[in-house]
Amino acid sequence: MAYGKRRASGQVSGDEIVVEAAWLYYHDGLNQNEIADRLRVSRATVVNYLQEARENNYIRVTMAPDVFIGHKLSHQLREKFGLKAVFIVPNGLGGVQSHLTRAARGAAEWLPDLIVPGDKLGVAWGQTIYEMAELLVSSGKVTIPDVEVAQLVGSMATPYGFTAEICSAHLAQGLGAACVNLHAPAIVTNADLAQQLREEPIIKKQLAALGQCNKAVFAAGSVCANSHVVMSGIASEDDLKTYVENGACGVLCGRFVNKEGKPVSGPLDERMIGVELNKLTDLEMGLLVSVGEDKAQAMCAVMNGGYATHLVTDADTAQIILDL
């Protein structure tokens, strides 16, 4: 029109009008027509502004976690396993994959509420943990001062891309926290080497840091042949069989546990580098994030073992666990 004042021209941050539109829309509850009038642009432009605002994460929609914690299944699970709090995400119709993503999303929303400044948070690995970390990084950055994230198990060669160090690094980034990585493989070929590594000053220090964690996030692993422990090369199928014969029915931080959550010993124990299960029993908070029928047994085991104080899962899995 009259004097051409395009958005980019001369502004320090050309987004002021976008912000204004977003404010009017989301806060003041005006509709797009009203906003268009005030801003003297067409309504279509307002649509664009709002999209831009959403893309730039100027707007955050979150759901009150209390709602999920209050869920009926939540009560029952809390009761059954003596947990402090349980977060149930509703399960749509998609496959397990989509359930997993939703649980991750739930966990990503909940976690910041569970962490306070000064905490040291141990992090395991797995797809769920990885997705959770990703979501924390991307969607609006939380920052809690003075938090340290520590990698609970050594690294491994997963074909999926969510190794232990990536999980911990991303989570640290997502929380704006410092990160202590564990610069060692999760498993080596013989116990001697493992022991030597554990004594290496750098690694020894990192392992010591794990003992200082007061909180932790982990997933439960199943003991099927196609489980992640096997796929990532931590255990061979034979190893797995041995452990299962000894009563293993779940995996936590690379370690096998039986129905009661007690550690099951086997050929790999001495060759692994990572946190030991007894460090995980008296945490202020142990957040278990897992989904899927195949994980149900393992989750039970982990909860029976007293490692978890908090749980995120979906309604389906919750029901299965309660029926076990």
Residues that bind DNA (CB under 7 A): 1, 4-9, 14, 17, 25, 31-33, 40-45, 47-48, 50-51
Binding mask 136-175 for its own copies (x = CB under 8 A): ----x----x------------------------------
Rounded to the nearest 5°, which phi and psi values hold at 51?
-60, -45
248-252 and 255-258 as β-strands: parallel, antiparallel, unpaired? Answer: antiparallel
C-beta of 32 vs 168, nearer to DNA: 32
Indicate the helix (H) or strand (E) that contains 289. strand 285-289
Among residues 22, 210, 298, 311, the one that binds its own copies under rule CB under 8 A: 22
Q: What letter represents residue 119's amino acid?
A: D
Q: How far apart are CA 25 and CA 7, in angstroms?
A: 19
**Per CB under 8 A, 44 contacts its own copies:** no
- Residue 98, classed as helix, strand or coil, is helix
Q: Which two tokens stand for residue 230?
A: 């096997």
Which residue shows structure tokens 């749509």?
A: 92
- Residue closest to 176 by CA, chosen among 200, 141, 152: 141
C-beta of 95 vs 117, nearer to its own copies: 117
Contact partner, 161, from its own copies, DNA, none, Cβ < 5-8 Å per class: none
Q: What letter represents residue 161's amino acid?
A: G
**Per CB under 8 A, 8 contacts its own copies:** no
Contact partner, 89, from its own copies, DNA, none, Cβ < 5-8 Å per class: its own copies
Contact residues: its own copies, CB under 8 A:
11-13, 15-16, 19-20, 22-24, 26-28, 30, 38, 57-64, 67-68, 70-72, 75, 89-90, 92-93, 102, 105, 116-117, 140, 145
